[in-house]
Structure 1
Amino acid sequence: MESEWLIEHLTDEDLLIVDCDLPDAYNRAHIPGSVNLGGNHHLKEEENVHVMSKNTAESLFSTMGLGKDTKVVAYSGRFSVYAARLWWVLSYFGHHNASILNGGWTAWLNDRRPITDTPTTKSKSLLQATSNNTSFEPFEPVINHDLIASSDQLLEAQLKPGTLIWDVRSSEEFNGGNSRGNKNEGHVPGAFNLEWSGLMDIESGKFKTSDAIYDLLLKNEINRGRPIITYCQAGVRAAHAMFTLTLMGYGSVKNYDASFAEWGNVDGFPIEK
């Protein structure tokens, strides 16, 4: 989604704009009408490598005013990585009406769009939820297990020649030069490495053109029709890669959400350098 669309729909009542950066950044400036995701922008259970539980998600989404038919626009800095994380979590819990602002906060500023430092106390969708609007239906999370991979599934995938295991981390992490605090360094055997940020235009912060992305994917033998599992350190960058694949029309893609925060700290899991 481009900023042109968002500026035209900024006051839509069924629109929920979510700032996915940390609260300090949100308090400095943000898109008018947007609500902040909060400090847990990884959307994990507390002190856990796994995605937040259904109950935690339901509480968060209710506080934001997310309805069954609410249109969500997520944005963040850093190549929209945390916006993509929210997109994946929403998809995982069965909400499929979410978009990412292309270029995120950087593009919004570059396009000279309006900003504010006044926090949004209640989103328009939350106002609908708390009013007597009988057409508003709250969103009830239903987990889609097809979008997530477990460590057992990743172990099985190593035995299936057709499954691609995509390590989206930096080459330094992949080769074991940066442990990120893990007990074991390296990568999942059979995985190939293509850093997630390579899909982005460095200068604008936007996604590269579809042709450029597709060429890059094909060069790494990431073909449509093959099952793909993405992973990183915590399932956040992997969610961004999964969003890009979905955008490009790829199916059968799973995010190993626990990623190397789990794999690199379990004795007995195979690792290569």
Structure 2
Amino acid sequence: MTDEWVVSADWLDANRDGVRVVDVRDAWEYDGIGHLPGAVSVPFDTFRSEDGPVGTMPPREDWEGLLSEAGVEPGDTVVAYDDTHGVFAARFLVTALFYGHENVRLLDGDYSAWLREHETTTDATDVAPTEYEAGDPVEGVFVDADDVLAALDDPDTVLVDTRDPEEFEAGHLPGAVNLDWKELVDDETRALKSRGELEEILAGHGVTAEKRVVLYCNTARRISHTFVALRHLGYPDVQFYEGSLTEWEAAGHPVE
């Protein structure tokens, strides 16, 4: 087993029997287009909610139901994928972290990339349901608006806005730097760029491993991918503002 946050298609192909693979595309894609052998379907819209504990996190009982139906145990290593460069799959993994599930991995690339050299199937995956019990958020990952307010003037913290430049220019948190999450993705491979390229891009935005990094976007979807990428690179202090700009503006906090 690997401790990496991001795993290659070859690694996953060789280790499918030892992990729980989760497909977060729409159900019609899973059923009609095909999926990775052994993957279970947990569509993105089933774990996004306006009625959860914070941001768009699903209620605890809904999350437990989804993972129970998918046959996931709390100790399982979960590998998630989508067909959108990994951004929706990363959101699934961050949701798992919010509910205490630490063994999470992102498939480097997506379904379209997998198709190039690996087999797929339209056969249904046999799943034995479990009685999944969620835990508490993984320590040191999630921050709230008060934490972000306290970090605005901290020289050792870099606040990162992962939206596109036009959104950033329309209004952003004071002192934030703009790092569009797509800058970290290679359009050809549909996976993360090389480690050297990633480190150069991040350093160019002042995002270094020596800094405390706090991420936000609009509704915490796009920051999920950047969070996983930074943890993959070994950044030790990366934090996730689940409420993001939606909560920030609703509370009347300052925007530049």
Q: Same fold (TM over 0.5)?
A: yes
Distance 2:56 2:22 in 1: 22
Query: Aligned residue for 1:99?
Result: 105
1:161 partnered with 2:145 = no
Superposition deviation, residue 145 in structure 1? 4.7
Could you list the runs of 5+ residues in structure 1 that have no partner in the other structure?
131-137, 177-185
AA of the residue aligned to 2:155: P
- Out of 168, 174, 186, the residue aligned to residue 174 of structure 1 is 168
Query: Aligned residue for 2:75?
Result: 69
Retained in 2: the 8 A contact 1:45–1:51?
A: yes
Tell me the secondary structure at the aligned position of residue 143 of structure 2: coil
Retained in 2: the 8 A contact 1:42–1:236?
A: no
Give the 3 Å change call, closer, same or farther, for CA 219–39 of structure 1 in structure 2: closer
- Out of 87, 109, 114, the residue aligned to residue 93 of structure 2 is 87
Query: Aligned residue for 2:238?
Result: 253
Tell me the secondary structure at the aligned position of residue 78 of structure 1: coil
Show the 5 A alignment for 1:104-253.
104-111=110-117, 113-120=118-125, 122-123=126-127, 126=128, 129=130, 140-176=134-170, 186-253=171-238
Distance 1:32 1:200 in 2: 25
Superposition deviation, residue 82 in structure 1? 1.0
Retained in 2: the 8 A contact 1:3–1:102?
A: yes
Show the 5 A alignment for 1:35-54.
35-40=40-45, 43-46=48-51, 49-54=55-60
1:24 partnered with 2:9 = no
- Out of 247, 250, 253, the residue aligned to residue 269 of structure 1 is 253
Q: TM-score, normalised by structure 1?
A: 0.83
Retained in 2: the 8 A contact 1:41–1:82?
A: no
Retained in 2: the 8 A contact 1:54–1:141?
A: no
Give the 3 Å change call, closer, same or farther, for CA 163–39 of structure 1 in structure 2: closer
Retained in 2: the 8 A contact 1:230–1:256?
A: yes
Q: TM-score, normalised by structure 2?
A: 0.88
Superposition deviation, residue 141 in structure 1? 2.0
Superposition deviation, residue 45 in structure 1? 4.5
Superposition deviation, residue 244 in structure 1? 0.7
Q: How many residues align?
A: 248
AA of the residue aligned to 2:45: N
Retained in 1: the 8 A contact 2:80–2:105?
A: yes
Distance 2:213 2:149 in 1: 13
Retained in 2: the 8 A contact 1:57–1:141?
A: no
Distance 1:8 1:227 in 2: 35
Identity %: 29
Distance 2:40 2:168 in 1: 35
AA of the residue aligned to 1:75: Y
Distance 1:77 1:251 in 2: 28
Distance 1:97 1:38 in 2: 20
Retained in 2: the 8 A contact 1:20–1:38?
A: yes
Distance 2:212 2:101 in 1: 22
Superposition deviation, residue 98 in structure 1? 1.7
Deviations 1:201-259 (A, max 9, x none): 01110110111101111111111132111011111111111111100111221111121
Give the 3 Å change call, closer, same or farther, for CA 141–4 of structure 1 in structure 2: same
Retained in 1: the 8 A contact 2:51–2:59?
A: no
Tell me the secondary structure at the aligned position of residue 8 of structure 1: helix
Superposition deviation, residue 76 in structure 1? 0.6
Retained in 2: the 8 A contact 1:79–1:200?
A: yes
